[in-house]
Amino acid sequence: MSETAEVTLYYAPGSVASLTLQIVLEEKGIEYTTKVVDEDKPSKEFKNLCPREEVPVLKHGDFVLQEFMAACIYLEETFGGTKLIPDDDITSEALVLQRMFSAQSIGVGDTTICSYWADYDDEDDEDYGPEDEEEDEDEDPDEEDAKEDLAEELMIWEEYLKEEGGPFIAGKEFSMADVSFFPVLAYVVWMGFQPKKAYPHLNDYYLAVRDRETVQAVWPVDWNKPCPEKDFLYLEEYLEEDEEEPKPKAKSNDKGKAKWKGKGKGKAKGKK
Amino acid sequence: MSETAEVTLYYAPGSVASLTLQIVLEEKGIEYTTKVVDEDKPSKEFKNLCPREEVPVLKHGDFVLQEFMAACIYLEETFGGTKLIPDDDITSEALVLQRMFSAQSIGVGDTTICSYWADYDDEDDEDYGPEDEEEDEDEDPDEEDAKEDLAEELMIWEEYLKEEGGPFIAGKEFSMADVSFFPVLAYVVWMGFQPKKAYPHLNDYYLAVRDRETVQAVWPVDWNKPCPEKDFLYLEEYLEEDEEEPKPKAKSNDKGKAKWKGKGKGKAKGKK
C-alpha cells in the first residue's frame, strides 16, 4: 500500500485505544480522515468492517486493520514521520514492544484494572456505584483490590522513569511505548488519580507528554472537564509503608483463583 | 544478542501464554532450558526477573523479556528456523499481527471469555461452580453471556478458515497467528468445547496443529487427561439459528455498560 492511499480512522473519542492510534497518526504526520463510531449504535458500515464491533479500526486504501496494536506497527512500517520503534538495535526494539504490550494490562479491553472503574457506574449491579448509600460504610473488596493493583502497577511505571532516567517510558526517545502507555495514564488521571505525591516521575511525565503538540491535537474534549463519575484515587494509601523500596507487595488476600492452569497469561499470584 | 547466548524459559505448564512461547522456541529450533514457575509460590529468582509475577518470562543471555508477545517478535527477529512473521509483504505481516493480537481477546489474562471459566471453580464465590446445587436450575446470566461471547468469537475464527481456505489461521503458512491462536483453542477444547458439529474447519485445524511435531513436543501433560472441572461446552446452542449466515448476533441484553468512554479498547456493544 502506498503512502498516498487514503487513511481513515474509525474511532470513539475518549477510548484509550483510539487515542493511541490517533497519536501515532499525528506523530507520523499522516493525512487521515476520521469517522466517529457511536458505540451504542454502530453503523452498518462499521459492523461490516469489524464484526467484533470494537473501536478503533484503521482503513488504508482497501486494507482494514482491526487490532490497534497491529495498526500501530503497520503504520510504523509503512509511513515516515517520528520513528516510534527502534530498528537498529533488537534489545531497544524489544523493550519498546514489551512496554507497549504491558500498558494494555492496565487499560485496554476487559482487563483487571481500568475495567473495574469502567463498570463502576453500572446501574444493573447493585454492589457497585457511589450511589449505593447502604453499603457506603463497607469497603467493597473488589474495589480495594482494583485500587491496590492499580497503585502497584503504576509504581512499576514510576520506577521505569526513576531508574532509567526517562524522560520517556522506554528511554530518551518518545516511542510506541509512550503512545501506548500515555493514554492509559491520562485516562486514570481523568478518573481522579493524582500522581503528584507518591509518583513524582509519572507526574512530570504526564504533564510533559500531555503538552506535546501531537497529543494536544487529538486530546478528547471530554477530558477537559472532570470525569462525571470522578473518584479521587489516592493510590498512595495502597502502597507499602516502606517507601524506600516501593516494590509491589505480596498480597495477603490471595484467593487461590485461577486453578485452571490454562488461564491465559499465567499470573504467579492469584490476582483477580 | 547472539544466537549462542543461553535462552531460558520460565513458564507454567498449561498456561496458554507459556505454550505460545514454547511453540515459538520449538519452531525456531532454539536450544533452551526451562524453569517451571510455581504460580502459588514463585521463587525469589523469578520475582526479581518479573515484579508482576506473570509467566512466561524469557531470558536470552542477560536480556529479560516479560511480555510474551514481545518475546515472540524478539525471537522471530533474532533467530532462524520457521519464518513466523512474513517480512516481504506488509499486508501479510499486518494480517498475522492482527490475528496474533486478536487471539488474546479470547484467552489471555483477565479478559472476558476464558477468564470466566478460569474463575469458575473459585471456592470463595458462591454464585459460581458446578457444585452449587441450589442454583442448578437457574441459569447464571454471566455464564450464559460468556458462552455466547465464546460461541460468537470462535465463529469468527471458523469463518477465517472457511472463507480464506486455510489451512492455517492467516493463510497457507503456519505463522505467529497460529502460535498465538492455537493454544487458546486447545485450552477451550480441553475445557470441553467440541468443535466438530458447528465448527468443522476449526475441528480440522485443531487436529492438524495438535499433531504438529513442535506442538507435541511441548504439549502440557495435564491436557492429556480431561480437565478436572470439565464443562461440556455445546456452543452451537448459542449461535444464531440462521446457519447460512453465522455472523455474531446483536445482543438483546445490552446493559449499557462502559459509560466511561475511556474504557480501553472501545467495544461498540456494551459487553461485559
Per-residue confidence (pLDDT) for residue B141, from 0 to 100: 72
Residue pLDDT tens, chain A, 272 long:
667 789 999 999 989 999 999 999 999 999 999 999 998 899 999 999 998 899 999 999 999 999 999 999 999 999 999 999 999 999 999 999 999 999 987 765 544 466 666 554 444 444 434 444 444 445 677 777 778 888 888 999 999 999 999 999 999 999 999 999 999 999 989 988 999 999 999 999 999 999 999 999 999 999 998 887 777 777 888 887 554 444 444 443 333 333 333 345 555 443 33
**Which ranges in A58-138 belong to alpha helices (H)?**
68-78, 90-107, 112-118
Residues A148 and A69 in one domain: no
The total domain count for chain A is 2
Residue A2 lies in a domain: no
For residue A7, report the phi and psi dihedrals to the nearest 5 degrees.
Answer: -110, 125
Contact B264 A111 (CB under 8 A): yes
Phi-psi region of A100 (alpha: psi -120 to 50; beta: other; left: phi over 0): alpha
Residue A231 lies in a domain: yes
Average pLDDT, stretch B44-60? 94
Per-residue confidence (pLDDT) for residue B114, from 0 to 100: 63
Of A16, A54, A255, the CB nearest to B268: A54
Is residue B59 pLDDT above 80, yes or no?
yes
Residue A96 lies in a domain: yes
For B153, nearest residue in chain A (alpha carbons): A52
| CATH number of the domain where residue A124 is located | 1.20.1050.10
Of B123, B229, B263, the CB nearest to A118: B263
Q: Could you give the 3-state DSSP secondary structure of residue A168?
A: strand
**Which ranges in A61-217 belong to alpha helices (H)?**
68-78, 90-107, 112-118, 141-164, 176-191, 200-210, 213-216
Chain B partners within 8 Å of A2 (Cβ): none
Per-residue confidence (pLDDT) for residue A149, from 0 to 100: 83
Residue A255 lies in a domain: no
Of B17, B37, B220, the CB nearest to A264: B17
Q: How confident is the model at residue B250 (pLDDT cuts 50, 70, 90)?
A: very low
- Of the two residues B264 and B106, the one the predictor is more confident about is B106
Residue A44: count of CB within 10 angstroms of its CB: 7
Q: Å from B109 to nearest chain A CA?
A: 5
Q: Å from A233 to nearest chain B CA?
A: 16
Residue A169 lies in a domain: yes
Contacts of B151 (CB under 8 A, 6+ apart): B235, B236, B237, B238, B239
In terms of residue numbers, what domain contains B50? 7-78
Sign of CA dihedral B161, B93, A29, A182: positive
Average pLDDT, stretch B232-260? 52
Which residue in the block uniquely carries the three cell numbers 517480512? B87
Per-residue confidence (pLDDT) for residue B266, from 0 to 100: 59
Identify from B65, B153, B261 which residue to disrupt to test chain A contact, counting A C-beta atoms within 10 A and taking the largest count: B261
| CATH number of the domain where residue A62 is located | 3.40.30.10
Q: Å from A197 to nearest chain B CA?
A: 22
ipTM exceeds 0.85: no
Residue B185 lies in a domain: yes
Average pLDDT, stretch B219-239? 82
Residue A243 lies in a domain: no
- Of the two residues B261 and B81, the one the predictor is more confident about is B81
Contacts of B33 (CB under 8 A, 6+ apart): B6, B7, B8, B9
Residues A98 and A224 in one domain: yes
Residues A228 and A189 in one domain: yes
Contact B266 A115 (CB under 8 A): no
Distance CA(B165)–CA(A247), nearest Å, equals 50
For B188, nearest residue in chain A (alpha carbons): A262
Residue A265 lies in a domain: no
Distance CA(A168)–CA(A103), nearest Å, equals 14
